[in-house]
Amino acid sequence: MLYYLYMEKQRVYMVIDMKSFFASVECAERGLDAMTTKLVVADDTRTEKTICLAVSPALKAMGVKNRCRLYEVPKDKDIIIARPRMRKYIEYAANIYAIYLKYMDKSDIHVYSIDECILDVTDYLKMYKIKAKPFAQKLIKEIHETVGIPATAGIGSNMYLAKIALDITAKHAKDRIGWLTEEKFIKELWNHKPITDFWGISKGISTHLAKLGITDMESIAKYDEDLLYDHFGVNAELLIDHAWGKEPCLMSDIKNYKSKSHSFSNSQILPRDYLVSEAKEVLKEMIQEGCFRLAREHVVTQLVHLYITYEGYQYGTKGTKRLSVTTNLYSQIWPYFDTLFDEIVDSRFRVRRIAYDLDCLVDDDNELYDMFTDFSKVEKEKRLTNSILQIKDKFGKNSIMKGTSYQPDAMQKERNMQIGGHRSGEEEDE
């Protein structure tokens, strides 16, 4: 049986993914088997509507869906509810990355997400005189023996096929390893449904495809290409390539890619439905921290966006303002958000989520003010900002904050103890 794809001039990729990563880490920390332990990662200090970050395989087998709400988890005394510890998960991810580095150069590793990596193993198969599947098994075994985390893998002749092998084929393999060539992809997955199982096909794209009578990859491959371009523009090229199991992108292309987008975004889901006045105070904190980040990264903004989502998440409003200055100073940026908030907020409802973008970022060498600016105040605020950043760097994010951040409904003190909007785990260590 063909277990590897190494051929002259043909590359071999692996995508290795940790099973229910956050839940598996919590099991490993407790000395439990992640495959048999009933565990869910969720912040039970919030409401029962809070989203569970991870569900262990044993719970999934019981029908509990990933990213479910806490109230949807069965009331069972044997189920462990583990509060998120993002810093701990990052530590485990770093240890797993270190395992890859034992066998490969970092130029052949792409971190796709905290629990998933793409590996170009082409040259290493020949170096270690090993086939692709045994190499994947070796890595998975070492990950489990070293950090106690179970993993799955997809192997393919290009990165797309390796990803599809992971997402679809590996789920039906006893050893949790899938592999695909272009020929195998066409033979086994051309008629696979739902089409949203394939990477890059969202619900919106699948709905559009369905209107054209397309429900599987074979239908895309055999559809009139000109019509596909009429409907999807340049994205049609990607759909057509993927329908045939082709992907021209190489690891070197990923490493050399530089984003043309220059913006900074942040959002907060509030712990309850906030009054409009309370929500504005939270927005003030958010913009202050956003300005600190701009200053730390030595960039300035000239365009801002604000998004407000209301109770029940069924309705939202948004707005944009272009600044008359190009700056990273809170005193200059906040008035625009203040006005924007008042213009777009719907006071009939309470606020549940706030998000903003600081857009069109450029180096602070391009800082620009209007003729009415008091430059003595600008320089004073810059010095104050730099002093605050130095204090935060030395003593922690909560070492210096505005008095408003200590009000009952303020969020910044708690947010400073989080990573990616979730508990870092540091609060448990204090």
Residue type, 296: R
Instruction: Tell me whether residue 27 is exposed, middle or buried, using C-beta atoms within 10 angstroms of its C-beta: 0 to 12, 13 to 18, 19 or more.
Output: buried
Instruction: Give me the mean pLDDT over the 73-93 stretch.
Output: 90
- 8 A C-beta contact, residue 301 and residue 429: no
Say what the pLDDT of residue 283 is. Answer: 94
Q: What does the DSSP assignment read for 262-319?
A: --EEEEEEEEEEEPHHHHHHHHHHHHHHHHHHHHHTTEEEEEEEEEEEEGGGS-EEEE
Judged against a pLDDT cut of 60, whether residue 416 lies above it is answered with no
The backbone torsions φ and ψ at residue 82, rounded to the nearest 5 degrees and listed phi first, read -105, 130
291: its two tokens: 């300005």
- Residue 40's alpha-carbon distances to 22, 24, 65, 78, 99, in angstroms, are 9, 10, 11, 11, 27
52 vs 396, more confident: 52
Judged against a pLDDT cut of 80, whether residue 199 lies above it is answered with yes
66 vs 275, more confident: 275
Contacts of 119 (CB under 8 A, 6+ apart): 13, 14, 15, 16, 100, 104, 108, 109, 110
- 8 A C-beta contact, residue 287 and residue 268: no
214: its two tokens: 């397309």
The 3-state DSSP composition of the chain as helix, strand, coil percent (nearest 5) reads: 45, 20, 30
Instruction: Give me the mean pLDDT over the 228-255 stretch.
Output: 92
Distance separating alpha carbons of residues 323 and 98, to the nearest angstrom: 45
Instruction: Tell me whether residue 10 is exposed, middle or buried, using C-beta atoms within 10 angstroms of its C-beta: 0 to 12, 13 to 18, 19 or more.
Output: exposed
424 vs 358, more confident: 358
Is the peptide bond between 408 and the residue preceding it cis, with omega within 30 degrees of 0? no
Give the pLDDT confidence of 97-144 residue by residue, as tens digits.
999 999 999 999 999 999 999 999 999 999 999 999 999 999 999 999
- Greatest mean pLDDT among 99-108, 252-261, 375-384: 99-108
Say what the pLDDT of residue 313 is. Answer: 81
Band of the pLDDT at 91, cuts 50, 70, 90?
A: very high
Instruction: DSSP letter for 197, please.
Output: G
Distance separating alpha carbons of residues 270 and 400, to the nearest angstrom: 23
Say what the pLDDT of residue 3 is. Answer: 41
422 vs 206, more confident: 206
Give the percent of the chain with pLDDT over 90. 64
Say what the pLDDT of residue 430 is. Answer: 45
Say what the pLDDT of residue 412 is. Answer: 55
Q: Which domains does the chain have, with CATH numbers?
A: 21-86 (3.40.1170.60), 190-255 (1.10.150.20), 264-419 (3.30.1490.100)
The backbone torsions φ and ψ at residue 297, rounded to the nearest 5 degrees and listed phi first, read -95, 5
419 vs 404, more confident: 404
Instruction: Give me the mean pLDDT over the 173-201 stretch.
Output: 95
Band of the pLDDT at 255, cuts 50, 70, 90?
A: confident
Say what the pLDDT of residue 407 is. Answer: 64
Name the one residue in this structure whose structure tokens are 């300035």. Answer: 300
Band of the pLDDT at 411, cuts 50, 70, 90?
A: low
Distance separating alpha carbons of residues 157 and 381, to the nearest angstrom: 55
Instruction: Tell me whether residue 429 is exposed, middle or buried, using C-beta atoms within 10 angstroms of its C-beta: 0 to 12, 13 to 18, 19 or more.
Output: exposed
Instruction: Tell me whether residue 46 is exposed, middle or buried, using C-beta atoms within 10 angstroms of its C-beta: 0 to 12, 13 to 18, 19 or more.
Output: middle
Contacts of 98 (CB under 8 A, 6+ apart): none
Least confident of 108-117, 174-183, 294-303, 412-421: 412-421
* Mean pLDDT for all residues in the chain: 88
Judged against a pLDDT cut of 80, whether residue 317 lies above it is answered with yes
Least confident of 57-61, 209-213, 323-327: 57-61
Judged against a pLDDT cut of 80, whether residue 9 lies above it is answered with no
Say what the pLDDT of residue 65 is. Answer: 85
